[in-house]
Copies of this chain bind each other. A is one copy, B any other.
Amino acid sequence: MLSVQRAATGTSTRQLGVRTFFGTSSRAKQRLVILGSGWGGYEILRAIDKKRWSEECSLDVIMVSPTNYFNFTPLLASCSVGTLEFRAAVEPVRRYTPDVIAYTAWCDSIDFKHKKLVCMPATSPVTFEGSQTQSNGGSDVNESASLVTGNTEKFQLTYDKLVIAVGAYNQTFNVPGVKEHAHFLKDIRDARRIRTRILECFEQANQPTITDADRRKLLNFCIVGGGPTGVEFAAELHDFLHSDIARHYPALARMAKINLYDVAPHILGGFDTGLQEYATAKFKREGIRLLTQHHVERVEEGRMFVTEEGEVNFGLLVWSTGLSPNPLIESITELKKDERTKRSLLTNGTLNVLKADTGAPDPDVFAIGDACTIETEALPATAQVANQQAKYLTKRLNRLIKSSSASASSSDAASADAAAFKFQNAGSLAYVGDWEAIFDRTKAARGPKGKETGRVAWLLWRSAYFTKTLSVRNKILVPMYWFLNWIFGRDLTRF
């Protein structure tokens, strides 16, 4: 199973991100390609045994992701109102280069038969006059990639092992205008745009040239989707409006409203009923309007049309109604897909993808996170699941390195005879505002089953963020910002 195709380049000079060792060309290198730097992909990048493979020269790791960072998604709602600074909620992929190779690129297509990927740069094109396309001859940069014949814009990579961790896109249910006029909350750029927009709404409303009627429209904040993301954003926004905004824009703060829409009869669908009721009661007490069983028909600039209400004007619309398929997953025809959600690849218990024709697992291709559905078990599309799957897979891949370095003719330790992945439900947490959270452990795998609300749950919610995923740097910065913003208030500069 070991690839030998890179042995020929083993004596070349040291290149960007690819460790080659003089005199070691007789030992072939495995190449692991990870697609995506989210909860699944970044965890593998972080936890894979980089020491061993750099010493023993048995594995190249390549990350292909359109961003060069990982979003610590549960902190995005905090970032979007300034409780946290943006960079405290992201982790750089570049931290691991040149030990690993990283390309800021989209994976366009996968040739499973020849173990090849075609990728498209996710940076803006370079436009020097007289520029020529890389002939891939003399450069010592990016020797790991080659050009696609007849295409000057794409490049290709080969893999021995492939992890598909590309996640999913935002679901809009084809409501017209959502992509153009609403904000999602899945990436740090979304959080930055939302923060800038909220502050702009208040600065616009503060202008003497507009009417009170328009001020109320501008300060009408709408959220569509009553899941954890929508609820936490509503809670953070409420905190922000009732602290820093109320202090520094008192007359305008009184005009501001928060509205949370959902088509379902209750918010927080996945949570225990008691906790749903707790959150509902709390939101009502705080003046957040809950518009359940409401349907948005279309969105335009500054307004949307709701079946039950008619035209609704807003200054900001945040849209968070779940997940839709990643185009890469949609384009794959060689593998079995989850027919129910259509947004993920079907895998066996060891997370190997299943071939569409024979149904047999591909021993070298794995799918994790939102891009994967295990055929025997329906798991929620959460960070927790993706992260646990990545940890499971990393262990297997690390064993592969171990065994391949122990014997030259490695047996594939990542083969299907490994123990199946088992999800350990640690419970679900959601912030509901005003230093209170809810914590649902009714389905927890270990520890006391039950639920928590209020300050105790809030403490658990905050401490939950100190996972291994967050770097030491951010483990210092996150509480630092919490502390500074608690003392001095959130920063209100808009730039």
Contact = CB atoms under 8 A, between A and B. Distances in A.
Contacts of A102: 206
Contact of A128 (B136, B302, B476): B302
A203 B128 contact: no
Given A494-B68, A495-B188, A209 B155 contact: yes
B128 A217 contact: yes
A90 B493 contact: yes
B141 A251 contact: yes
Contacts of A91: 493
A117 interface: no
A116 to B, nearest CB: 14
A212 interface: yes
A203 B98 contact: no
A142 B208 contact: yes
B126 A204 contact: yes
Interface in A122-150: 123-124, 126-129, 131-136, 138-142, 144-147
Interface stretch (A171-179, A234-242, A484-492): A484-492
A200 interface: yes
Interface in A248-288: 248-252
A123 to B, nearest CB: 5
A142 B477 CA distance: 38
Interface in A75-123: 85-87, 90-95, 97-98, 102-105, 121, 123
A249 B152 CA distance: 23
A200 B128 contact: no
Contact of A85 (B85, B124, B217): B85
A343 interface: no
Given A95-B492, A208-B147, A493-B90, A16 B200 contact: no
A473 interface: yes
A141 B216 CA distance: 12
Interface string A214-225: 110110000000
B208 A146 contact: yes
Contacts of A250: 16, 98
A354 to B, nearest CB: 31
Given A103-B207, A145-B208, A209-B133, A94 B248 contact: yes
Give the interface centre of A16, A121, A128, A473 by most chain B CB atoms within 10 Å.
A128
A203 B68 contact: yes
Contacts of A103: 206-208
A9 to B, nearest CB: 14
A154 interface: yes
Nearest to A477: B484
Nearest to A302: B128
A135 B209 contact: no
Given A16-B249, A248-B94, A127 B211 contact: no
A145 to B, nearest CB: 4
A91 B206 CA distance: 19
Nearest to A245: B94
A408 to B, nearest CB: 30
A395 interface: no
A188 B494 CA distance: 10
A449 interface: no
Nearest to A154: B209
A210 interface: yes
A445 to B, nearest CB: 33
A342 interface: no
B492 A139 contact: no
A192 interface: yes
A471 B488 contact: yes
A313 B188 contact: no
B155 A206 contact: no
Given A94-B248, A98-B249, A121-B207, 4 more contacts: A67-B495, A90-B493, A104-B207, A128-B303
List the 8 closest A-B pairs by CB distance, nearest first: A16-B251, A145-B208, A69-B493, A94-B492, A155-B208, A142-B208, A121-B207, A473-B488
